[in-house]
A and B are shown apart, each in its own frame.
Chain A
Amino acid sequence: VAWSKSAIYREWLACALRPTPLFTGGWNLPPATGLERGDFRCAVYSNLPTPDETAPVAQTGYNTGEWQGGGREITNPPNWLNGGPVMTGHGTAGGFTSAGGLITFGADNTVSDGPVTMSGIFGDLVFHAGQPLGPPNAPYVQYQGLCFHYYGGPAEVDGGTFTVVWPPERVAQIQFT
């Protein structure tokens, strides 16, 4: 069964709410040198993964669980590398809002660094590129996923710019009902 829905990982919320050691996954944390605190990436995938928003934390990271294995991640170096582009429009640029019944994770659209040729793209994984391994963050997983998005069918680009256009609800949104 291929994936068919978009969702926020339960463990992303749990790690933030629990948090035994410091949780460094804040959407508005400032970026540090390289892929550290505050950096999120958007990796794109074929229809082989079957992501599960209730998966244990160890299976929610980039290159873990459903996100590992041949033929799953789609890339086209050098303009769409493994892990996808670093997302913009969050961190010190904002993007996080909390108002009314909604908590929203906003960001700019994610764009390839240049022309790419990719096909069979069925969705993406948005993950935190700054999550380190080991203590003091042992309960977490490296490159922990925030959420995944199913595109509803295959998307492709042939020698052009590939853009992930976030909907009005943005990258992720939590609703209080």
Chain B
Amino acid sequence: MPWSRSAVFRAWLECALQPRIGWAPAPSTRWAGGWNLGPGPLNTFNCSLWKDTITPDETAPIELTGFATVGSVWQFFNADTGNGMDSTWAGGKPDNGEAWPIGGRLIPGTGQEGGFSSAGGLITFGGGNPVSNGLCTMALIHGDMVFCLGIAPIGPPTGPVQYQGLAFHYYGGEQRVTDGTFTVVWPPEGVAQLQVI
């Protein structure tokens, strides 16, 4: 059953609220997933694109929420999707060389540029629209996964899984582009939003 919804990973909140489980024994070590950390890779989030051959689960354990994590739906080097990669496909993930590389495109407007707000009943992760690096041709795009490039598996700053995912978005159907610019347009609610009710 392919994915059919968008969600924030429970593990993302878990790590933010409890930055000591299973890693980082040093008190000075912190979880590196803050939307407004920076400068440097700590504040770098990417948007990767995916086919409908996966079934994301927002309640997955931390270890299965990273981009390209072995054993997760985000792994594209596994047996189910094959190891073969070319300029068009990398396993289950649409790819078109440098225009929209494996791992996706940077989400601007985070880190020290802001993007995070907390007001009323809402916590919002805002960012600029990720745009392809030039013209590209891609098809069978059904959604994306937003992850932090700054989270490494070992050593401070650290986290329990490399390239930990913040959220994934289902696009409601296939998106494609032919020799054009591909842009992920975030809704007014931002990249992700939490509601306090």
Chain A interfacial positions (CB closer than 8 Å to B)? 7-8, 10-11, 13-14, 16-20, 22-23, 25-29, 37, 53-54, 96, 98-101, 103, 174, 176
B154 at the interface (CB under 8 A from A): no
- Write the chain A residue with the least CB distance to B125: A17
The 0/1 profile, CB within 8 Å of A marked 1, for residues 1-44 of chain B is 00000011011111011111100000110100011110000000
B184 at the interface (CB under 8 A from A): no
Give the interface size class of chain B: 20 to 34
Q: Which of A8, A101, A103 has the most chain B CB within a 10 Å cutoff?
A: A103
Q: Which residues of B contact A11 (CB under 8 A)?
A: 118
Contact indicator A96/B123 (Cβ below 8 Å): no
Option from B18, B34, B116, B125 in Cβ contact (under 8 Å) with A96 = B18
- Write the chain A residue with the least CB distance to B118: A14
Q: Which residues of A contact B14 (CB under 8 A)?
A: 98, 103
Contact indicator A13/B34 (Cβ below 8 Å): no
Contact indicator B196/A7 (Cβ below 8 Å): yes
Taken together as a complex, chains A and B put the C-alpha atoms of A103 and B20 apart, in Å, by 15
Contact indicator B20/A13 (Cβ below 8 Å): no
Contact indicator B59/A176 (Cβ below 8 Å): yes
Contact indicator A13/B21 (Cβ below 8 Å): no
Contact indicator A10/B18 (Cβ below 8 Å): no
Option from B18, B119, B120, B196 in Cβ contact (under 8 Å) with A98 = B18
Contact indicator B35/A18 (Cβ below 8 Å): yes
Additional A-B contact list (11), CB under 8 Å, known A18-B34, A19-B34, A101-B10: A14-B123, A17-B13, A17-B34, A17-B125, A18-B36, A23-B30, A29-B27, A37-B27, A98-B10, A98-B14, A176-B58
Taken together as a complex, chains A and B put the C-alpha atoms of A96 and B118 apart, in Å, by 24
Min distance, Cβ A16 to any Cβ of chain B, angstroms: 4
Instruction: Sample 30 A-B pairs with CB under 8 A, ordered by A number.
Output: A10-B118, A10-B123, A13-B194, A14-B118, A17-B34, A17-B35, A17-B123, A17-B194, A18-B116, A19-B16, A19-B30, A19-B34, A19-B36, A19-B37, A20-B37, A22-B28, A22-B30, A23-B19, A23-B30, A26-B17, A26-B19, A26-B20, A28-B20, A53-B196, A54-B120, A54-B196, A96-B17, A98-B21, A176-B7, A176-B10
Taken together as a complex, chains A and B put the C-alpha atoms of A27 and B34 apart, in Å, by 18
Q: Mark out the residues of chain B between 100 and 135 whose CB falls within 8 Å of any chain A CB in the assembled complex.
A: 116, 118-123, 125
Taken together as a complex, chains A and B put the C-alpha atoms of A57 and B77 apart, in Å, by 44
Taken together as a complex, chains A and B put the C-alpha atoms of A13 and B121 apart, in Å, by 11
Contact indicator B123/A13 (Cβ below 8 Å): yes
- Write the chain A residue with the least CB distance to B25: A30
Q: Which residues of A contact B12 (CB under 8 A)?
A: 17
Q: Which residues of A contact B17 (CB under 8 A)?
A: 13, 16, 25-27, 96, 103
Taken together as a complex, chains A and B put the C-alpha atoms of A22 and B26 apart, in Å, by 13
- Write the chain B residue with the least CB distance to A174: B13
